[in-house]
Amino acid sequence: MKVLLLMLSVLMSFSVWATRIEVDINGMTCGMCVEAITKELNKTDKTENVKVSLEDKKAYFEVKKDKTLSDSEIKEAVKKAGYQVFKIARKK
């Protein structure tokens, strides 16, 4: 039982370290769109686990531990790729 509680507390602490971000994006129509957005979001040293879904028209990623990433920085990265952010959701 103690091992289970320890494992649970460790797993919960990892979720506190990273902020998960979900970004709704306007204008994506093909695989090249996905590549361009992925590239721009990966350029910063603040993101990890970037996944862009053409089907969902969304980007999913995490902000690294001890880093912050503002909505304006996210919007700017997506704009550099040639697209527009519709909505940003932050989840722990």
The whole-model pTM stands at 0.78
Cβ neighbours of residue 86 closer than 8 Å, sequence gap 6 or more? 24, 25, 26
Architecture of domain 18-91: 2-Layer Sandwich (3.30)
Confidence of residue 14 (pLDDT cuts 50, 70, 90): very low
What is the pLDDT at residue 72? 96
**Tens digits of residue pLDDT in 16-64:** 456 899 999 999 999 999 999 999 999 988 999 999 999 999 999 999 9
Q: DSSP of 1-41, one letter per residue? A: -HHHHHHHHHHHHHHHH-EEEEEEEE---SHHHHHHHHHHH
